[in-house]
Amino acid sequence: MMTNPTGRITQGQFSFLPDLSDDEIRLQIEYGLKKGYAWSVEYTDDPHPRNTYWEMFGMPMFDLKDAAGVLMEMNSCRKTFPNHYIRLMAFDSTRGVESIAMSFIVNRPRTEPGFGVVRQEADGRNIRYTVHSYATDRPEGERYAG
């Protein structure tokens, strides 16, 4: 992948940067809390860009005052799924917005095999292109084991 030579998936905020440290994550969370967002933790092992809805790790956290609570949840998710993608999402419940305002990855598998191009021959001599994550060749839960 020439546009992404490191082979790391780039979804959400900060994904072209080196991984955020815990202190930097704390600052981001504080920023969101100050704006009144509700943070939640999600994980997945299917990094396909169109896989929008990841698995929730616990409930979204409303009415928090301090980042420590979110960090606690994030760390327990890291402990449970050390080799999954984990992201933090901030939900803005303001009327009229009511959607995710921030989202960034806080944990990645050790190795990210990346994506291959799949060419499908369709009617006539048409070719349909799509991307396919090598990781998903293996069953769920074993994708980043080795």
Partner 1 sequence: MSKPLYSIPGATPPAGSAPGPAAAASAAAAVEAARTVNEVLAQSQVEAVMDELDRELIGLAPVKQRIRDVAALLVIDKLRANLGLAADGRSSAPSLHMCFTGNPGTGKTTVALRIAEILHRLGYVRKGHVVSVTRDDLVGQYIGHTAPKTKEVLKKAMGGVLFIDEAYYLYRPENERDYGQEAIEILLQVMENQRDDLVVILAGYKDRMDTFFKSNPGMSSRIAHHIDFPDYTGEELLAIAERMLTAQRYRFGEGAREAFAHYLGRRMQQPHFANARSVRNALDRARLRAASRLFADRDRVLTEADLTTLIPADILASRVFQTE
Which is closer to partner 1, CB of 30 or CB of 137? 30
Write the DSSP assignment of 13-47 as a string of letters.
BTTTSSPPPHHHHHHHHHHHHHTT-EEEEEEES--
Stretch near partner 1 under the rule CB under 8 A, chosen from 40-48, 54-62, 100-108, 113-121 = 54-62
**Binding of partner 1 by 73 (CB under 8 A):** yes
Stretch near partner 1 under the rule CB under 8 A, chosen from 7-15, 58-66, 83-91, 111-119 = 58-66
One of 15, 46, 48, 69 touching partner 1 (CB under 8 A): 69
One of 68, 100, 118, 131 touching partner 1 (CB under 8 A): 68
What phi and psi values does residue 133 have, to the nearest 5 degrees? -80, 125
**Binding of partner 1 by 134 (CB under 8 A):** no
Residue list 94-133, contact with partner 1 (CB under 8 A)? none
Query: How far apart are the C-alpha atoms of 109 and 125, rounded to whole Å?
Result: 39
Alpha helices (H) in 81-141, listed in sequence order: none
CA 26 to chain centre: 17
One of 49, 56, 66, 142 touching partner 1 (CB under 8 A): 66
**Binding of partner 1 by 23 (CB under 8 A):** yes
Query: How far apart are the C-alpha atoms of 16 and 99, rounded to whole Å?
Result: 23
| Token couple for 115 | 């994506």
**Binding of partner 1 by 36 (CB under 8 A):** no
Q: Do 88 and 13 meet the contact criterion of CB atoms below 8 Å apart?
A: no
Residues that bind partner 1 (CB under 8 A): 21, 23-24, 26-27, 30-31, 34, 58-59, 61, 63-70, 72-73
